[in-house]
């Protein structure tokens, strides 16, 4: 059975809040792992305290991050690109110290960044060149760098598995793989299960959310098809539930949550976890 984790910001109001404080909730709900983010920078992570809490609760951890305009590896400015490589190195090194098998997220361009030009190829090319260097760092640390495939409203870089695979060919390194999320896939893929099959061994990390970004089991995604596709490609890594359900919190508003997506955080996440264990894991 595939293990199931939770993106810890499910419970958190502010991006800067203490992520470790919510690990107990993940454990009590029955999760196998948690996903944390370096949203405030990897240097803000209390590595000894986090490791102790993960060990105490017997939880695995997965790390994620994103780039800013100051660390944009698509930038025409070489100094900015180098700052991005340095930042990703720091994130990878922190992930390694936490025993995270992967560093995922929007690791290839700033989130919600759309260049004002008709020719986007130079941005993709610069990102791929920078990620060749980052891939070697990840490989040396024994970590997989995953690139999350987002919908068209959140990035221009690539929006489908096929486009993501073309980008992976530019990087040409086995330490870099795709990260898929059923919420984004529901908007962009003609057939979710077929897209997973095309990703095949290039699938490095997997997020679960309903078609409307509610919890898995509450939308119209065919999870039986998802399970069959994951089984066929031999994907046995953790699946992570990711949703930001609170419209009155910074975490929800940042991703345009304008109505509450849950009524009872703890009870509904337990129901969704049970649904995934029965139908997908």
Residue 271 tokens read as 């129901």
**Catalytic residue status for 7:** no
Q: Which strand (E) or helix (H) includes residue 97?
A: helix 78-97
Catalytic residue among 7, 53, 189, 242: 242
**Catalytic residue status for 263:** no
Catalytic residue among 148, 154, 188, 189: 148
Tokens 């959310």 identify what position?
209
Work out the burial of residue 241: count CB atoms within 10 Å of its CB; fewer than 13 is exposed, 13-18 middle, 19 or more buried: buried
CA dist., res. 279 & res. 222, Å (int):
10
Q: What are the helix (H) ranges across the chain?
A: 23-29, 47-57, 78-97, 121-141, 161-171, 182-188, 192-199, 223-232, 250-254, 265-279
- Pairing relationship of beta strands 144-148 and 176-181 according to DSSP bridges: parallel
Residue 63's φ and ψ, nearest 5 degrees, are -110, 150
Tokens 């100094």 identify what position?
79
| Catalytic residue annotation | 148, 242
């Amino acid at each position: 059975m595939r293990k199931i984790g939770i993106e810890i910001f499910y419970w958190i109001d502010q991006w800067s809040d203490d992520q470790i404080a919510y690990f107990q909730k993940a454990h009590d709900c029955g999760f196998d792992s948690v996903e944390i983010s370096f949203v405030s920078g990897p240097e803000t992570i209390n590595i000894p305290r986090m490791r102790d809490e993960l060990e105490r609760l017997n939880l695995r951890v997965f790390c994620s991050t994103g780039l800013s305009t100051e660390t944009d590896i698509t930038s025409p400015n070489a100094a900015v690109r180098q700052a991005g490589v340095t930042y990703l190195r720091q994130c990878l090194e922190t992930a390694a110290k936490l025993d995270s098998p992967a560093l995922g997220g929007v690791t290839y361009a700033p989130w919600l960044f759309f260049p004002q030009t008709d020719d986007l190829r130079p941005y993709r090319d610069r990102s791929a060149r920078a990620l060749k260097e980052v891939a070697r760092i990840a490989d040396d640390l024994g970590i997989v760098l995953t690139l999350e495939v987002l919908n068209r409203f959140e990035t221009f870089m690539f929006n489908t598995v096929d486009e993501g695979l073309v980008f992976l060919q530019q990087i040409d390194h086995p330490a870099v793989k795709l990260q898929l999320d059923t919420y984004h896939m529901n908007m962009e893929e003609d057939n979710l299960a077929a897209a997973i099959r095309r990703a095949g061994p290039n699938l490095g990390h997997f997020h679960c959310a309903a078609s409307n970004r509610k919890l898995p089991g509450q939308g119209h995604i065919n999870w039986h098809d998802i399970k069959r596709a994951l089984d066929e490609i031999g994907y046995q890594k953790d699946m992570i539930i990711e949703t930001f359900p609170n419209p009155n919190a910074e975490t929800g508003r940042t991703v345009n949550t304008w109505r509450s997506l849950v009524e009872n955080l703890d009870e509904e996440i337990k129901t969704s976890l049970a649904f995934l264990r029965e139908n997908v894991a």
